[in-house]
A and B are shown apart, each in its own frame.
Chain A
Amino acid sequence: MTTPVLSIRNYTLEYLTGAGPVRVLQDIGFDIAPGEVLGLVGESGSGKSSLAWAIMRHLPKNAREVSGDIRLGDTDLRALPGRELTRVRGRRIGMVFQDPSTSLNPTLPVGRQITETLVTTRGLSPKEAWTEALALLGHVELRNPEALMKRYPHEISGGEKQRILIATAFGCRPELIVFDEPTTALDVITGAKILELFTRLRAETGVAALYISHDLALVSRVADRVAVMKHGKLVEEAPADRIFRAPQHPETQILVDAVPRPERRLVHDQPGERVLLAAQDISVHYARRRLFRPAPPPATQAVGFDVRAGEILGVVGESGSGKSSIARALTGLADFSGNIRFDGRPIAAGRAMDRQYRRAVQIVFQHPDSSLNPRQKVGEILARPLRLFGGNVADVGKLLEQVRLPASFADRWPHQLSGGQKQRVAIARAFAAKPSLVICDEITAPLDVSVQASIIELLLTLRAETGTAYLFITHDLNLIRQIAHRIAVMRGGELVDLLSIDAIDAEHVHPYTRDLIAASPTPVG
């Protein structure tokens, strides 16, 4: 048998905290053979990132390694002193990070950031490194590498940045590359293309990889074997095609069930015929009109649609397609031109929106961290809309129970809650106003797949109880196909398709809609 590229044995890790040591990894052990891709799946907090940092030898100061071995080939990584570690990083283990936009230095041209790595790790001369970098960029299908090399990170898109980081990692010709959720921060189509790129480069170079993600469907497509992690322990390890078909451990079963599958509908009723909200020719303008200068193009161009009472209307599209601008216009957060009628009544734009409309249309934002005031307790956050819209402040407890949180959470601060719990509070805040339409703007995007599933379940229960309609904005087509009655597809500020869910596979759909469907990862098996 050949020596594995990476071999971990009995690895246990603790973080020392004020409340004593917290065990984050317990008896971890696995091998990655040369040329093999191991997928590592788990919810956030399961310890998968800690394991990545342990392999990269970049643990926080309060980390304490209790026991175990981490070997890269014949090298004992734990025994390496700092100087030799620098010689291993990049040269023998590369890493690709979750967020490409923060992983590049904002004040250095991207070309420089590639060549400096090639100069250090492969000992090339600056000139050779420049030529090599051009070749690498061309190889990851970036157009016009010459010009790109001279750009700064803020001048290029997220997908391009991730390609550059991947090109750099592969360009150093390491034995192993650690991928830490490399597509999570990207939209579906860009993410799908990055996955394609990963698969191709891997096949060409035969480098071994550890691919970390919370998305079991995605991992099962790229990995040879999948390891499932829960509370710092490996609960199951199996070939990728088997993990979906025959999950052994209950935790794996939960992850498998949580993966949204378009063919499994969660909503079975049909909405009423009554039109709740009718939007016509909505164009959202952000920048102020300036003297001597043409007005900037609107973020959305004359978009029109209606939402029926009790309907779930999905809005999909990649980032920058204008989805969120629609949400901002409908809630009076952005100026727009066009008409909105609500319950047959015309609604004024922007600040002039009346209170009755503002009460009836509520919004839940993507990031509960920034939409909940960190200096207010949950009780105060929920009492505000109750007071504003004539509810009873004593109902805070009931609201919390409505979103399946204990009433005692009213005394907690937002930072004491998990991401899913915070999003439940944000949902409770929206429902405090007894709305007839709730706009959900990518509300599950920052959450794990399993938490996402429970939030969706909550939204559907609330809808059954109150009859609320949803405008559900997302980039996850698989998810929206499970719940929406109709789907609006946006691209570049325009509405390209507005389809009933049954018609989504039909012949006449817009080619872009078909691309979106093709880009959505479906599980293997």
Chain B
Amino acid sequence: MSLSWILRRLLLIVYTVFVVSVLVFGITQVLPADAAVTLLGENATADALAAIRDRLGLGAPIWMQYLRWVGHAVTGDFGLSMRTGQPVGPEMVAALGRSLLLAFAAIALMLVIAVPLGVVAAVRQGKLADTLTSLVSYLGVAFPEFVTATLFAMLLADTLQWLPATGYVSPFEDVWGAVQHLALPVLTASVILVAHVSRMVRSETLDVLHSDYVRAARLKGLPERTVLMRHALRNALLPVVTIVALDVGYLLGGIIVIEEIFAIPGIGRQLMVAITARDLPSIQAGALIMSATYAVANTLADVAYAFLDKRIRYD
């Protein structure tokens, strides 16, 4: 792994975000939403509409509008929300922070559950433990989020009354409250991912356990424990890094449902609200920030992979 490789990866992020910005801007141009009408309402006079279009620069050619938007965006200024009149950037970044907290907590919990589950299933292939873990993980994917969420909420919030059902508390204000409020959504999100990762860990571990070098390690007299921990797991867990990076993307966009059910003002929910309200600056900012996050996550995964697997040469 060389410095020039890392630099090129960083450039690739910039390029990705650039392409997305063109797409996002293009899409918001063809959306059946007129910024002036959205701002002033259906009954605004023609003069008033013309005045505001002039003020927003909507009369300028599209590429000029794009350049102006990008120019501001790189300084963190995504304009004012058409719905609330507040700056869009800080609001979206705060929402992203809440979503990332949820996403990373869910991934951490998922790894803690899924990796041992997959390894046990592989080691006990075809036995009861294997069948049970398969069953559990398939149940996890089979239920849609809203069913899983409802079941967890019924059990933990309603029947047992251990956890609050909805809402978000910032960990900077009240750590214990934040943990309690995050518990249900994190649990729901991780259950879906557990299936992905545990199945993957299982098949990778099986492959590695049948490899020549694991056989060689066994036959040179290493205890089974060492063979499993040092020779098998190390190689079996590599692909998990990639899956986790993909899951970050899924979590950022896909947990809209979870954010909606548990009333967490994350970026998915903010984007949903923006789309319903035809709040163009919010849509643009939300989409761009999400894609940038995704690109960064994937790059981090590649770097991690290169660091863990010495066979991959980046030069």
Contacts and interface: CB of A to CB of B under 8 A. Distances in A.
Contact of A108 (B211, B234, B238): B234
B221 A90 contact: yes
Contacts of A88: 221
A172 B220 contact: yes
Contacts, number: 79
Contacts of A107: 234-235, 238, 308-311
Interface size of B as a range: 20 to 34
B228 to A, nearest CB: 13
A117 B221 contact: yes
A151 to B, nearest CB: 9
Given A105-B217, A107-B308, A121-B221, A99 B212 contact: yes
Interface in A89-106: 89-91, 94-95, 97, 99, 102-106
B219 A89 contact: yes
B45 interface: no
A94 B220 contact: yes
A67 interface: no
B224 A86 contact: yes
B222 interface: yes
A121 B234 contact: no
Contact of B216 (A82, A103, A121, A172): A103
Contacts of B308: 107
Contacts of B29: none
A116 interface: yes
B160 to A, nearest CB: 45
A102 B221 contact: no
A102 B211 contact: yes
A97 to B, nearest CB: 6
Interface in A153-181: 154, 165, 168-169, 172
Given A89-B218, A152-B310, A120 B234 contact: no
Given A107-B309, A120-B226, A154-B310, A172 B212 contact: no
B85 interface: no
A301 B124 CA distance: 54
B223 interface: yes
Q: Is the interface of B mostly helix, strand, loop or mixed?
A: helix
Contacts of A103: 212-213, 215-216
Nearest to B231: A105
A104 B216 contact: yes
A97 B212 contact: yes
Interface string A67-99: 000000000000000100011111100110101
Contact of A172 (B211, B221, B234): B221
B220 A58 contact: no
A121 B222 CA distance: 8
Contacts of B238: 107
B223 to A, nearest CB: 6
Nearest to A116: B222
Interface size of A as a range: 20 to 34
Interface string B267-305: 000000000000000000000000000000000000000
Contacts of B68: none
A117 B220 contact: yes
Given A90-B221, A97-B212, A116 B310 contact: no
A238 interface: no
A87 B218 CA distance: 11
A477 B315 CA distance: 39
B7 to A, nearest CB: 13
Given A102-B211, A120-B226, A86 B216 contact: no
Given A105-B231, A152-B311, A89 B216 contact: no
A56 interface: yes
Given A58-B215, A97-B212, A154-B311, A108 B230 contact: yes
A82 B222 CA distance: 12
A89 B227 CA distance: 13
A85 B193 CA distance: 40
Contacts of B212: 97, 99, 102-103
A191 B213 CA distance: 21
Given A104-B216, A105-B213, A86 B223 contact: yes
B145 to A, nearest CB: 36
B221 A120 contact: yes
Contact of A56 (B213, B219, B309, B311): B219
B230 A58 contact: no
A165 B213 CA distance: 11
Interface in A102-151: 102-108, 116-117, 120-121
Contacts of B223: 86, 120
Interface of B: 211-224, 226, 230-231, 234-235, 238, 308-311
21 contacts: A86-B224, A88-B221, A89-B219, A90-B221, A97-B212, A103-B213, A104-B216, A105-B214, A106-B213, A106-B311, A107-B234, A107-B311, A108-B230, A108-B231, A117-B221, A117-B222, A120-B221, A120-B226, A152-B310, A154-B310, A154-B311
